[in-house]
Homo-oligomer: A and B are copies of this chain.
Amino acid sequence: MKLATLRTGENGTTAALAMGADTYLPLPATDVGALLADPDWRAIVQATAAAAAAPDSRIVSVSAAELAPLLPRAGKVICCGLNYGDHIQEMGRELPEHPTLFAKYADTLTGPADTIEVHGSARVDWEAELAVVVGSELFRADEDEAQQAIAGYTVANDVSMRDWQSRTLQWFQGKAFDATTPVGPVMVTADNVDGDFEVRGYVNGELVQSGNTGTLVFGPARLLSYISQFTILRPGDLVLTGTPGGVGMGMTPPRFLNDGDVLATEIDGIGRLENQFRIHAPVPANA
């Protein structure tokens, strides 16, 4: 099944089950994270779907703009850098022994069709990624336990302000601009997944990134297990698995997003993000 978080008027959201193209069945939870917090979430979805088959069906048709970031209140958004062999080489680095991890907050997330407003950066770059949604608590778990704890998979773009990212040794400030990491449109549950994913990124329709998650140095279960050695993961937490080759800063000459550009991020079997950028004035006075 595919789950989404829909916007419902003023700052409200609801979890929803995807029924068909642009049609969703609202579920009794404020978002997918809140749904997953209930260990019986699968039964809740099934019971709601069974009831919806009645004439009083609550199925709604929504526009892309009504899709919220999948996990608007994720407690943890942990990202892995340098995880595809080809991207590692384009960044000029060697294959790693340990995953390179950094943290950001739910404020960084935005919806799958939202306009992304950037203030104060002139080097806005893309990173198309598979993201893993945690479905149950994990602490010092092995890979098998971690695999069992995966609720599903979604699409994200770890949009990065390279000027801020490279100001210091730590990437956080270039990765944590509010409302710049689109995530969605849906989470495909793990039981609907068989094999690896093709991840692609497009700028104004031009394919710029393409990779297969089968080439990840650290796959989803390995990443979750590794992270859980030092911090607990909870239902609704999000782990971004890294980006394949083809980012703008790796090009010759480097290439960044311009005001008005449209970034699309696509994973077969999950869905597509399509976000237009508004790049505002350069670095603000205080930065």
Contacts and interface: CB of A to CB of B under 8 A. Distances in A.
Interface in A131-187: 139-143, 161, 164, 167-173, 176-178
A230 B82 CA distance: 24
Nearest to A78: B172
A287 interface: yes
Which range holds the interface residue count of chain A? 35 or more
Given A103-B105, A169-B100, A177 B231 contact: yes
A231 B286 contact: no
Interface stretch (A8-16, A45-53, A91-99): A91-99
A55 interface: no
Contacts of A120: 229-230
A168 B98 contact: yes
Contacts of A169: 100, 169
Given A104-B103, A143-B286, A286-B143, A230 B168 contact: no
B81 A170 contact: yes
B168 A171 contact: no
B176 A142 contact: no
A286 B173 contact: no
A284 B229 contact: yes
Interface of A: 75-76, 78, 81-82, 96-105, 107-108, 119-120, 139-143, 161, 164, 167-173, 176-178, 225-227, 229-232, 284-287
